[in-house]
Structure 1
Amino acid sequence: MQPIPANELLAGLTLAEPVSIHAVVTDSRKVEPGCVFVCFPGERVDGHTFAAGAYQNGAAYIIANHPVDGVPADRTVVVPDSALAMVRMASNYRMLFSPRIIGVTGSVGKTTTKEFCYAVLSAFGNTLKTEGNQNNEIGVPNTLFRLESATEYAVVEMGMDHAGEIERLTRCVRPSAGIITMIGVSHLENLGTRENILKAKMEICAGLPDGAPLVLNADNDLLPTAQVPGRLRAVWFGIEQEADVRAENIQTGAQGTTFTLVDREYGRFPVSIPTAGLHTVYDALSAYAAATRLGLDPANCAKALSRYQTTGMRQHIVERGGVTVIEDCYNASPDSMKAAISVLKALPNKRKIALLGDMLELGDASEEGHRHTGEWVAEAGVDTLIAYGPRSAVMAEAAQARGVTTVHCQKAQEVLQCLQQFVQPGDALLAKASHAMKLEDLLQDYYAGLPQA
């Protein structure tokens, strides 16, 4: 974070002195002289407990929900909502800089799309990106606080749980271009219908300037029904439907995917990406579309897609003990499950095993989503399904009814025993579930028992 006067950073929150602020932190262990410390109340840990210590260690101001003993009143900024205060400070800080920013949202594929955008933008100049899962009302400000004068480009991922959140974030980020990857069923528990999800994702328009490109998935069933404001430029990408940016001649396998990118405006380009699965082709297309409509050279944008690197356990294909493992443990929804199963199907391994766990936050669509997943497992020719968690019982029943060898596990130790029993060298294994199921820990325990190369 570059230094900013406190009266500018805290504008709209309090009257402050023009002392120099060097950081905004929410972790008391990261407090440094000249920082702003933001208190967040939590179920297990309340940041207000550490406020006095943060002040003693040099914090210039404390953002709190109430006065705190040990912190002078003139150094306490009392706010009703700490997250909204973070967004306000980040918006104030963002105004110091003028990089070209791509804002990414959608039900599925946000992180992969963000990484493709970073691969393209970083080929043209100094680029900032959202790290990890920093895509909410705390994470997005933390990303913006990393902006510097040298930052030429940025890609910011924006997630949400409720209506109104994307509008707040996009007004804060003020992107030069926006991407909506697709509208699925994630967050149905809070928003009720997919139409409400569409409306919430379209809030990204509120932060886009006049004439900005809004990149949309033409193959998604709901996005083409969206009312794009006339002041914005809709750019459509897809594979099945006619679109401004399309992919043809797609060839995918364990080592990656090649295709011909067809751009109505700029022509045809060969593309090679180090990912498997049609869903990653969509993500690559959207990144290319956004970057080129910001004025970057099309041929170099298409070439730069090959610079993509996976992050964490998201569609990460590794070899362990002779087993090809698709590590996809970060999150799950019916849409992303279907995509991951298609990757497993495309692998050349003779036997294919799926370890699939519960998908959370689906609300009333949970039973249907898990049942469809079991059906997709059968359609993909998966040999064995290891279903994990109470919600996955429906998935197991659907797969077993269609002839798939199926085991339903309720405990992690049962899953580990099934992996050791069913998976053999030469097999392909897909591991996917919502992050709360902690499949990444299960995989590490499984790997520990495999012969080391």
Structure 2
Amino acid sequence: MNIKQLHTEFLASAGICTDTRHIKKGCLFFALSGDNFNGNTFAKQALELGARKVVIDQIGFHQNTSKTILTGNSLKLLQKLASFHRQYLGIPIIAITGSNGKTTTKELINVVVSKKYNTTATRGNLNNHIGVPLTLLSMTKNTELGIVEMGANHIGEIEALCTIAQPNFGYITNFGKAHLEGFGSVEGVIQGKTELYKHIANTKGLLFVNGNDPKQVALTKKEKRYTFGSEGQDCEVKLLDASKELAISYKGANIESHLIGLYNFHNIAAAIAIGNYLKVLEKDVKEAIEAYVPTNNRSQIIKQSGHTIILDAYNANPTSMTAALENFKQTAGNNKILILGDMFELGTSATEEHQAITDMIVSQDIGNVTYLVGENFSRVHCEDQRVILCPTFEDLKTQLKTKEPNTATILIKGSRGMALERVLKLL
């Protein structure tokens, strides 16, 4: 079966499935494998549950039926099918990457642009070598514009994702200290992320560039770009108030968002700028931004048991942690508590970066009490008695039971693996 025939099967199916726990009757099941699982072992079950056909890459699991498609590599075939489908649709696609704020920015762009176009965007943060193909394959003939988030932790990954998605537009949120274990350094991060710039430039597409980021302005000075911010006059976006939820001015109209932190201003500004470029009406831009409420542990403000909680526990790296602390420092409150979890994937920089965060908290007097949770934070040197080291989550639980916080403003932030949203049940 060639790719065109497989695509015909796909169009006649109920979509793609890679997990038998979520099988839809009539879907195409792709048996994907990883370090700890083998999707081929579920092929028979997928057919029994109603899959139209299954794609496997180990002959030992072939069912000797027309419903089984044997290939050399199921993942590569999934990616090839996604790229073919993208060409078949022929729609414009915006690709988004960066060290921090990718998912929030993607969601903001989607709510703004969907005011004018029928859009399909990456769900959650399904932004890797599997998530990007699945996003493309979720697009239909009704989709007028696609929005694809791209994540990476090694050089070459963004280039590979661009080859699959073939975006017409590109935006990089920022360059920061994220995935240093894979990229090796901030310079490696820049090299990896700007693979998006190179792809867009080579295909004569358009880059959206934050004019307030000197590095990105310099890297794109020879490229076709649309800038926004104080260095570009294409989009009149100004920050009015960052002391609480962000208030913004756009072409004379005030926008009251539900997002906190100066770092989110650039995410909002990017969405407004892209909406502006795509000629979304100003009233619709305002309505979209004001209606957007963050979820999934990203910059959520929660009122609970008398506390005001800033839950930003979806992910963390030195750049995003520093930005969150700078914002928290400006937040009102007489009793301010920090609950911070380890930052992962920092490689040999882990000790240095966790110590730097600890030193910042103490030197800038950011919290009344700080709980540092995890193995990396447990190794920092700190003599300030307001800083409590908790090697494990159980240690944190014991500390909070021993001294239950009074009415407080609380920042909760850590890498996804720390699952610090569990703290909510302790407060």
TM-score w.r.t. length of structure 2: 0.89
- Helix, strand or coil at the partner of 1:134: coil
State the SS of the aligned residue for 1:271: strand
Distance in 1 (alpha carbons) for counterparts of 2:11 and 2:329 = 59
Change (3 A) 1:422 1:128: farther
State the 1:18 CA deviation: 9.2
> Within the alignment, does 1:251 sit opposite 2:241 as a pair?
yes
For the pair 1:439 / 2:411, whether they are aligned, the reply is: no
Q: Provide the C-alpha distance between the structure 2 equivalents of 1:201 and 1:108, rounded to a whole number of angstroms.
A: 12
User: Following TM superposition, by how much is the alpha carbon of 1:286 offset from its aligned partner in structure 2, in angstroms?
Assistant: 1.2
C-alpha separation in 2, matches of 1:211 and 1:297: 27
Structure 1: which 4+ aligned runs deviate by more than 6 Å? 16-19
CA distance in 1, matches of 2:285, 2:388: 45
Does the Cα contact within 8 Å between 1:237 and 1:286 map onto a contact in 2? yes
- Whole-Å separation in 1 of the counterparts to 2:301 and 2:23: 38
Q: Match of 2:267?
A: 283
Q: Which residue of 2 aligns with 1:451?
A: none
The aligned runs of 1:2-13 (5 Å cut-off) are 7-8=3-4, 10=6
User: Which of the residues 336, 349, 359 maps onto 2:333?
Assistant: 349
SS of residue in 1 equivalent to 2:311: strand
Conserved 8 A contact 2:239-2:265 = no
- Taking a change above 3 Å as real, the CA distance of residues 61 and 161 of structure 1, as seen in their structure-2 partners, is farther
Cα separation, 1, equivalents of 2:213 and 2:255? 23
* CA distance in 1: counterparts of 2:117 and 2:234, whole angstroms: 26
Select the residue among 378, 381, 390 that pairs with 1:409: 390
Structure 2 residue runs without a partner (length 5+): none
Name the residue aligned to 1:327.
311
RMSD: 2.9
Q: Does structure 1 retain, via aligned residues, the 8 Å contact 2:338–2:367?
A: yes
Maintained 8 Å contact 1:116/1:283: yes
Partner of 2:302: 318
Q: Secondary structure at the match of 1:72?
A: coil
Decide whether aligned partners of structure 1 residues 153 and 190 sit closer, same or farther in structure 2, where only a CA change above 3 A counts. same
Q: Percent identity?
A: 28
- 1:293 Cα deviation after fit: 2.2
Counterpart amino acid of 1:140?
Answer: V
Match in the other structure for 1:183: 175
- Quote the Cα distance in structure 1 between the aligned partners of 2:154 and 2:351: 22
Corresponding position: 1:419 with 2:400:
yes
Q: How does 1:31-42 map to 2 (within 5 A)?
A: 31-42=23-34
> How many residues matched?
424
Which secondary structure state, in structure 2, belongs to the residue aligned with residue 63 of structure 1? strand
The CA distance in 1 between the partners of 2:207 and 2:133, in whole Å, is: 22
- Any idea what SS the aligned residue of 1:147 has? coil
1: CA distance between counterparts of 2:102 and 2:325? 19
**Local SS of the residue matching 2:259:** coil
1:27 positional shift: 0.8
Alpha-carbon deviations, 1:160-216, whole Å to 9, x = none? 122222122223333342110001121211121222221221222425785533123
Moved more, 370-379 or 298-307: 298-307
Amino acid at match of 2:243: G
Alignment of 1:30-429 (within 5 A): 30-72=22-64, 75-80=68-73, 82-205=74-197, 206=199, 212-220=205-213, 222-227=215-220, 230=223, 233-238=224-229, 245=235, 247-254=237-244, 256-261=245-250, 269-298=253-282, 300-302=284-286, 304-378=288-362, 379=364, 381-393=366-378, 397=381, 400=382, 403=384, 405-422=386-403, 424-429=405-410
* Equivalent-residue separation in structure 2 for 1:98 and 1:380 (angstroms): 54
**TM-score, L = length of structure 1:** 0.84
In structure 2, relative to structure 1, the CA distance for the partners of 1:278 and 1:18 (3 Å cut) is closer
**Which digits, 9 at most, give the CA deviation of each residue in 1:393-427, with x for residues without a partner?**
35x53xx45x5611001121211232344553431
Letter in 2 for 1:288: I
Shift of 1:40: 2.0
Gaps of 5+ in 1: 262-266, 448-453
Cα separation, partners in 2 of 1:140 and 1:20, compared to 1, 3 Å: same
Alpha-carbon separation, structure 2, partners of 1:19 and 1:111: 28
Give 3-state SS (helix, strand or coil) of 1:112's partner: helix
In 1, Cα distance between equivalents of 2:335 and 2:185 = 38
